[in-house]
Amino acid sequence: MTSRRLDLALTESPLRPLPGPAAELLRELAAPPRLGAHLRLVHDVAWSLTDLLGRRRPDLEFDTTAVLFGAATHDIGKTIHVGELSGPGHEHEEAGRDLLLRYGVPAHLARFAGSHSSWHDPDVGLDDLLVSLADQIWRAARVEDLERRVCTMLGGAPWEAFLELDDVLRDLAAGADGRLAFQASYPIAV
């Protein structure tokens, strides 16, 4: 049964809605309202990030649909490891990937739940890095090694790639206070 607060987290405000299957799964799992709000925020930032990068670099290859689904579900394992909503931990990552697979989500989409904090892994591709970046920049967190990896994948002159990415991230980080307030307005408990 879906809580009223979860429904509000998934529908309230001008944030872009989550992909239908992601929202349905959160409702089915009776996700904590704060998790619904967080996933919606990261998804919204990922939407802006992919849009801005796509406009600046139309030749850049990434799967926007996969990135958006990954952003919308990256922390779904926190429905199992609820303590990680308010404290540190990585148990939700593998648990989230496994949960998505059990619910029939294809492996190429479920992987984001397990890879969103593994940007240092040499096998991680641009799609994964964009989900990781959205999960950081929504709250204005800047992570140098993550941004360096994204710049490498942008190609071209390293300094130019950095300046281009920095412009995009500065614009996205500007709304962090409002996003933090939105997330904090929803309780962890269902």
Question: What is the C-alpha separation between 14 and 31, in angstroms, rounded?
Answer: 21
**Could you tell me the CA-to-CA distances from 180 to 28, 37, 142 in Å, in that order?**
25, 10, 15
Q: What is the mean pLDDT of residues 115-125?
A: 85
Closest by CA to 37, choosing from 103, 85, 1, 101, is 85
- The answer, yes or no, to whether residue 183 has pLDDT greater than 70, is yes
Question: Has this prediction a pTM greater than 0.85?
Answer: yes
**Rg (alpha carbons) of the chain, rounded to whole number:** 16
Q: What is the pLDDT of residues 1-52, one digit of tens each?
A: 468 999 999 998 899 999 999 999 999 999 999 999 999 999 999 999 999 9
Question: What is the C-alpha separation between 159 and 43, in angstroms, rounded?
Answer: 28
> Do the beta carbons of residue 109 and residue 44 sit within 8 Å?
no
| Residue-range domains of the chain with CATH | 4-184 (1.10.3210)
- Identify the pLDDT of residue 122: 84
Q: What is the pLDDT of residues 82-100, one digit of tens each?
A: 988 888 888 899 999 999 9
